[in-house]
Amino acid sequence: MQPNGSPAGRIVPATLNAGGLIEILRRLFRQWHRRQTTRRQLARLNARELADIGCDPLLAEQEAAKPFWMA
């Protein structure tokens, strides 16, 4: 909890207007798009490329299989 009683890491501010909601949604969609793009790129890497970046092929496969909304 924050000193003001709000939960830590709160996504939606206590006072929210239409502009604030639009900005929150914009950020959320950007984050989802970035995850989807990154996971697609990860799925295209071969074993040698994964080794070059120090990534285990099994972990890369598991990460690439996650839906875009999952962190």
Q: What is the pLDDT along the chain (71 residues), one digit of tens a residue?
A: 455 554 555 566 666 788 889 999 999 999 999 999 999 999 999 999 999 999 999 999 999 999 999 99
pLDDT at residue 45 in the model: 97
Is 9 domain-assigned? no
pLDDT at residue 65 in the model: 97
Report how many domains make up the chain: 1
Residue type, 21: L
Q: 65: helix, coil or strand? A: helix
71/69 Cα distance (integer angstroms)? 7
Is 31 domain-assigned? yes
Is 50 domain-assigned? yes
Range of 29's domain?
19-65
pLDDT at residue 1 in the model: 47
pLDDT at residue 9 in the model: 58
Of 36, 33, 13, 14, the closest CA to residue 24 belongs to: 13
